[in-house]
Amino acid sequence: MTEAGISNTLKTMLMSNLIPYIMPKGFPVPEVMSGVGKVNELGQLCKTLGCMNILVVSDGMLSELGIVKKCTDGLAQSNVKFTVFDKVVPNCPDRLIMMGYNLYKHSKCDGIIAVGGGSSMDCAKVIGAKVANPSEPIESFIGSFKVSGRDPKREAKFPPFIAIPTTAGTGSETTVVAVVHFEERGLKEVITDPVFVPKYAVLDANLTLSLPKFVTATTGMDALTHATESYLSTMGTERTKNYALKAVEEIGKHLLTCYREPSNTEARGKMLQASFDAGVAFTNSSVGYVHAIAHTLGAFFGTPHGAANAMILPLVLDFYLDKCIDQYCDLAIAIGITNELPTSAEDKFKLAKAYVAKIREMNEFMQIPTFVKEMTVDDVDRVVTRSMVEAHGSGKIFDMSDAGYPVPKYMKRADVTKIVNTFVSNVSKM
């Protein structure tokens, strides 16, 4: 899933009768190939899936950096044919998806590999949807189970799909969601289907070594946000909570190391796994207000999603504090603040606050902004309105047919306004 892709996803799932799929068994999880140089084994992996002619979906920047070539070299070593489609852009539009699909057909491909972040993976997923349903327009997939139709025969037509993340943050290599930008209508629409979960996720730390420090920082905090919001979700299960805590633990151990030592492949590999685990967690439990506001900042001002999540997360956690002290203590232990759970209510409260303080400390250390430079006071009202709509659906928060995010404590408009105003006030202090 792209970073914008979680928008209204829970609502989509609830309205389409996905709850039985989510709980208790959850969505499928990709098989993981993890380790430095694992992309060298791509050819053999494709052969195990019965694929000998692959469409590689990525973007132009990764091609220029040589990242795509590292992957295609792994195919060539095993005499697996490939065609590169590197036209993906952020918020990939439907016309480019169709271009990729037509290239898949023209090249007579029999499988898809996505290399990159959320946009590349979204594009690859929807190309696969067209391959499985060639006579159907992309618009027909909007919603849930429209790709597979819960039909094993249609599921089998979805091409083998391998995801190779090049950042440690989005978790897109684990999700059931793709977001499509329909240019003519000027709308982004969510497509949800379990067939979007890749057969394999290849986590190769070598592909992340060239990341700028800012991207390392913000994508890492994106993963921490996924894990934290998942852990606090009222739809969380023992399974999702375990994945979330594991992710928080690894992020606490390795994110700052990646920031300080960009070439540390061990830390990079651990962060890729943490992002994957956080992705599994939030895919099965959803997110909350942090993402609702972050998506709005991204839509209105182009704020990088990870950076938006990082600046919003401690503010939302401040709001939840009185309802989530025990959960914050669990997260504080996972991230490494202490090894023991306090016994007194006062000490638990202090530990809970320490988790929020830790997030602020990490943001400050990695120089993540606390403001949106493009935002003015005049923007506050529309940012709040859109954020509230995403978070609450139509506002009928207790109506499962029109639910919003499963958050532990609901915000009023004044609460969201207080948070959003922070970004404006911080600008004035610069």
> For residue 251, is pLDDT > 60?
yes
Instruction: Select from 389, 248, 230, 371 the least CA-distant residue to 308.
Output: 371
| Diameter of the chain measured on Cα atoms | 67
> For residue 399, is pLDDT > 70?
no
In whole angstroms, what is the distance from residue 320 CA to residue 281 CA?
Answer: 20
- Whole-model pTM? 0.88
Question: In the structure, what pLDDT confidence band is assigned to residue 8 with cuts at 50, 70 and 90?
Answer: very low
Averaged over 261-287, what is the pLDDT? 95
Averaged over 56-82, what is the pLDDT? 96
> For residue 12, is pLDDT > 80?
no
In whole angstroms, what is the distance from residue 237 CA to residue 305 CA?
Answer: 26
Confidence at residue 245, expressed as pLDDT on a 0 to 100 scale = 98
Is domain 213-428 given the CATH code 2.40.128.260 in the classification?
Answer: no
In whole angstroms, what is the distance from residue 162 CA to residue 115 CA?
Answer: 9
> For residue 96, is pLDDT > 60?
yes
Q: How is residue 388 written in tokens?
A: 């509230």
Torsion angle of the four alpha carbons 99, 102, 107, 109, in this order, in degrees rounded to the nearest 10: 100
Instruction: Select from 17, 5, 30, 31 the least CA-distant residue to 286.
Output: 5
Q: Residues near 267 by Cβ (< 8 Å), separated by ≥ 6? A: 254, 257, 258, 261
In whole angstroms, what is the distance from residue 207 CA to residue 215 CA?
Answer: 13
**Domain spans of the chain?**
9-208, 213-428
Contact between residue 426 and residue 370 where contact means Cβ atoms under 8 Å apart: yes
53 bridge partner residues:
81
Confidence at residue 264, expressed as pLDDT on a 0 to 100 scale = 97
3-state helix, strand, coil in the chain (%, to 5): 60, 10, 30
Question: In the structure, what pLDDT confidence band is assigned to residue 187 with cuts at 50, 70 and 90?
Answer: low
In whole angstroms, what is the distance from residue 375 CA to residue 424 CA?
Answer: 6
| Burial of residue 347 (number of CB atoms within 10 Å: 0-12, 13-18, 19+) | middle
Q: Is the dihedral of CA 397, 400, 406, 408 positive or negative?
A: positive
Tokens 């659906």 belong to 393
Query: If you average pLDDT over each of 27-31, 241-245, 401-405, which comes out highest?
Result: 241-245
Confidence at residue 208, expressed as pLDDT on a 0 to 100 scale = 94
Q: How is residue 191 written in tokens?
A: 């497509």
In whole angstroms, what is the distance from residue 52 CA to residue 43 CA?
Answer: 8
Fold classification of 9-208 is Rossmann fold (3.40.50)
Q: How is residue 177 written in tokens?
A: 């969601």
Q: How is residue 263 written in tokens?
A: 């070439």
> For residue 16, is pLDDT > 80?
no
Range in 228-242, 267-281, 380-394 with the lowest mean pLDDT = 380-394
Averaged over 123-147, what is the pLDDT? 94
In whole angstroms, what is the distance from residue 408 CA to residue 328 CA?
Answer: 12
Q: Which residues of 199-222 are buried (b: 16+ CB within 10 A; e: fewer)?
A: bbbbbbbbbbbebeebbbbbbbbb
DSSP H helices, 286-344, are 289-301, 305-320, 325-335
Q: How is residue 340 written in tokens?
A: 């023991």
DSSP H helices, 83-169, are 94-106, 118-132, 152-157
